[in-house]
Amino acid sequence: MNSLTLSEINIFPVKSLGGISLQSSVVEERGLKYDRRWLLVDGNGMFMTQRDFPQMALIELSLSENNLTIKHKSDTSLPAISIPLKYFSDERIDVIIWDDKCKAVPVNKEYDDWFSETLKMKCRLVKMPDDERRVVEKKFISEDKIVSFADAYPFLIIGQSSLDDLNSRLETPLPMNRFRTNFVFTGGKPFEEDKWNNFNIGEVKFKAVKPCARCVITTTDQETGKRSEEPLRTLATYRKSKNKVLFGMNLISFSAGTVKVGDSITLID
């Protein structure tokens, strides 16, 4: 078997906005450090994503030691904004993400106004407080685990071979950013991550929980915000199970630590 090597690490600090590619990242209980710790909500506190608002793909992020810088990819008339990573407030509001109700910290009206103007809709930026415990659904795991504002699980991994297999079936190959994954690895066969159980990335212990069911976000070009029928149309021909299209594996972790691009992936059982 080819050796398995971590080739990409990605975080998405504000759920459904642009991602940030890293050379290393800290594994925390609820996900990679800064991953999906911020969220945009509407006036009713309901979470917002590219499923309904594909223009969210056009907002890109960059990370510095103390700040998260946010700007529009193409509209240069909009100034960039800088959000402090360490923001504390005693204020809490209720937000809804899928079937979960969570406590969140409103960040700043200035940022709310920027996002409302940029996305052409009223919205509010909130952050997950450190003491919030959004619990991972127990349907597929017995462990008590928590998650950020990610859809359901703290981590997602996809093999480069899996994307290569998909692209061999498409007229126009697609980049990995369509799938908004935390980890990409090289080596191994297409979709072998489907069969994984316990494994290590470097020294950090993970467990593969369940395949990731994919939605319309995968059809959204992350550079333009425009939609097409692919890759869901093609994936549905050979990656469909119980009426869901599957691509990538959801993970939980059993230890903290740092993962780095180039780390070996070791299957345990």
pLDDT digits (tens, 9 = 90+) for 126-156: 999 999 999 998 889 988 999 999 999 999 9
**Domain boundaries, position 35:** 4-267
Mean pLDDT of 196-203: 98
Q: Quick one: pLDDT band at residue 1, thresholds 50, 70, 90?
A: low
pLDDT for 131 = 94
Residue 89: pLDDT band (50, 70, 90) is: confident
Q: Based on the number of CB atoms within 10 Å of its own CB, is 3 exposed (0-12), middle (13-18) or buried (19 or more)?
A: exposed
Quick one: average pLDDT of 176-195?
98
Q: What is the mean pLDDT of residues 57-79?
A: 95
Q: How many domains does the structure of the chain reveal?
A: 1
Give residue 87's pLDDT. 85
122 pLDDT band (50/70/90 cuts)? very high
Query: How far is Cα of residue 200 from the mean position of the Cα atoms in its chain?
Result: 20
Strand stretches in the chain, DSSP E: 4-11, 20-22, 24-28, 31-32, 38-41, 59-63, 67-72, 81-84, 93-97, 100-106, 124-127, 155-159, 183-186, 198-201, 204-213, 240-241, 244-253, 257-260, 264-267
Q: How confident is the model at residue 182 (pLDDT cuts 50, 70, 90)?
A: very high
Structure tokens at 257: 């630590």
Question: Percentage of the chain with pLDDT > 70?
Answer: 100
For the cut 90, the answer to whether the pLDDT of residue 209 exceeds it is yes
Query: Does the pLDDT of residue 254 top 60, yes or no?
Result: yes
Beta bridge partners of 208: 251
User: According to the model, what pLDDT value does residue 21 have?
Assistant: 98
Residue 67, domain CATH: 2.40.33.20
Specify whether the backbone of 94 is left (phi greater than 0), alpha (psi in -120 to 50) or beta: beta
